[in-house]
Amino acid sequence: MKLAAQVVDLTKFYDLGPAIPVAGANDELQYAPIAANEGRILVKALRGVSIDFPEGDFVAVMGSSGSGKSTLLNVLGGLDRPTTGHYVLGGEDVSQMDDVELSHVRNQKIGFIFQSYNLIMQYTVLENIELPLQYRPGYPALSAADHEWCLNLAKKVGLGDRLDHRPFQLSGGQQQRVAVARSMVNDPEIILADEPTGNLDSATGIEIMEMLWALNREGRTIIMVTHEHDIAEWAKRQIVMRDGLVHKETRTRPVHDTSDPVPHRRMASANV
């Protein structure tokens, strides 16, 4: 099976500075991934993570605070570099790239959806969707085809009648719809969603998950961090992180399964 992305023996350590000895302290603290190493305090956010992400998969990454799930997403998004190990995206080892190459990868191969939307308040809906196109290699001007593509994306997420609205004129759900459209504008290889429903009420959260499910049905690979078990049910695979390692992995549906992802809705449909 062709892989959209792969991480191999990935580690990520953060150096917090010199260690100050404390009487009776353990060399390795068991309740958090922190250790004293050669006189330095290291946060061991990832401790050797290996995961394959097949094309077309929908993965939910879960775990408590400090488990390493957000660090993993940052590395997958090219926002941070691993300390050791490899991250392969589209056949290229991203972990070996310099800043310019990473910028191109983020722009061309990855779509981002954030919990807090991360829209530019002065820009309209359409301008926010167009924004990643402004940072393509060589910085080409937007063409008529680019403009038409962004219009179609706005319509696809139900915002065709709000193109000139700015974020403060939109509800939280509508702002997240803009973020979903923006994530698709460069036709990325993977879409990374960081708590995409975290700031939304349950009904609006379901609307956003239906959009992500529809994108996955089109064959797009989606990797989502969430702490909500009902949201994780939408994914085809759930990965639970603990102390910087993969603690548990469960596949609930095959990679290319396009059936309704939510168990109670599948059952209701079968009983009709």
Residue-wise pLDDT tens digits, 161-215: 999 999 999 999 999 999 999 999 999 989 999 999 988 999 999 999 999 999 9
Q: Is the pTM of this model over 0.85?
A: yes
Which residue range(s) make up the domain with 133? 55-271
| pLDDT score recorded for residue 31 | 37
User: Cα separations (Å) of 113 from 13, 127, 239, 255?
Assistant: 25, 16, 19, 21
| pLDDT score recorded for residue 260 | 78
**Domain membership flag for residue 224:** yes
**Domain membership flag for residue 109:** yes
Average pLDDT of 52-63?
96
Residue-wise pLDDT tens digits, 237-250: 999 999 999 999 99
| pLDDT score recorded for residue 174 | 96
Tally of domains within the chain: 1
Residue-wise pLDDT tens digits, 94-133: 988 999 999 999 999 999 999 889 999 999 999 999 999 9
The dihedral over CA atoms of 181, 110, 251, 91, expressed in degrees to the nearest 10, equals 150
**Domain membership flag for residue 47:** no
**Domain membership flag for residue 29:** no
